[in-house]
Chains A and B, each alone.
Chain A
Amino acid sequence: MTSTETATSEAVPTQTDGEPPVDPDALRDEVKAKYREVAEQPDGDHHFHTGRKLAAHLGYPAEWTDDLPEFAIESFAGIANPFALRQLEPGERVVDVGSGAGFDSFVAAGLVGGDGYVVGVDMTAEMLTKSRRNAEELGLDNIEFCRGFAEELPVQDDWADVVISNGVINLCPDKRAVFEEISRVLRPGGVLQFGDIANGNNIPPGAMREIDLWTG
């Protein structure tokens, strides 16, 4: 099986027709709780790697991370490198869906430069507080962080040249709604580039209803 065949099998947890396999509000609460922990205790007991070590493992070039202070990268909890298949261009306008403590947004802000702009969107208050503080300490003026959901982005129609995301869409029960919302904010010809998980083995329907499987 090739990597493409594997990745096109099923996202984890997968989309189902009809009712979501888990209660969306309960899932949102669980995800917020998990990422509140990542914001406040980046070296805590998480089921995934975090921080600078994770960025290196996922293939982020050292020149993007070496100069970043620890506070700007310690809560990074991505799944893959959303810049692996296409690098951002100077001047582009970028939305980061589920921006967390801001690491991917900071990378994006550096790549698009002063003529570009980055809007990070996250639903977790502790992550927003941290990302805003980090941006201020980094002295970035081409970036802002807003509260919002992947299904309801606080961005006007056709604004973005690029939407990035990392390890977020798999946590949304209605992925179709997320992709449709992202298309609303992308200009015609705009690009969605994201990192996320995919599974080669099917997940039993019973397991799909376990919120713990979604968040850990």
Chain B
Amino acid sequence: MMLEETGYVDVEIGEPVDTFAGAPGEEKARIYDVYGYPFRAVWPG
């Protein structure tokens, strides 16, 4: 994952949210199985 490749540690990904449900962009989101996620990562310095 790119976050780790760039040096971040303790990368965490939360539960998906169906961001585009009911929106005009829903059809395209379904094609590519797109969801929103919260991400968290620490920069060790």
Contacts and interface: CB of A to CB of B under 8 A. Distances in A.
Interface of A: 3-4, 6-8, 11-12, 15, 45-49, 57-59, 78-86, 158, 167, 175-176, 179-180, 182-183, 186-201, 203, 213, 216
Contact of B39 (A12, A189, A196, A216): A196
A80 B13 CA distance: 11
Contacts of A192: 3, 8, 39-43
Given A3-B13, A7-B16, A12-B34, 19 more contacts: A3-B37, A6-B16, A8-B13, A12-B32, A58-B17, A80-B17, A80-B36, A80-B37, A83-B38, A84-B14, A158-B45, A176-B5, A183-B8, A187-B45, A188-B45, A189-B44, A190-B42, A191-B42, A195-B38
B4 to A, nearest CB: 10
B39 A191 contact: no
A3 B35 CA distance: 10
Given A79-B36, A201-B31, A216-B25, A8 B43 contact: no
Interface string B1-41: 11101111000111111011111110010011111111111
Nearest to A85: B40
Given A189-B42, A189-B44, A192-B43, A3 B15 contact: yes
A199 to B, nearest CB: 4
Contact of B20 (A48, A180, A186, A187): A48
Nearest to B10: A191
B39 A186 contact: no
Nearest to A169: B39
Contact of A193 (B24, B28, B40): B40
Given A176-B5, A201-B31, A80 B41 contact: no
Contacts of B15: 3, 84
A15 to B, nearest CB: 6
Contact of A195 (B20, B32, B36, B43): B36
A81 B5 CA distance: 24
A179 B32 contact: no
Contacts of A203: 32
A95 to B, nearest CB: 12
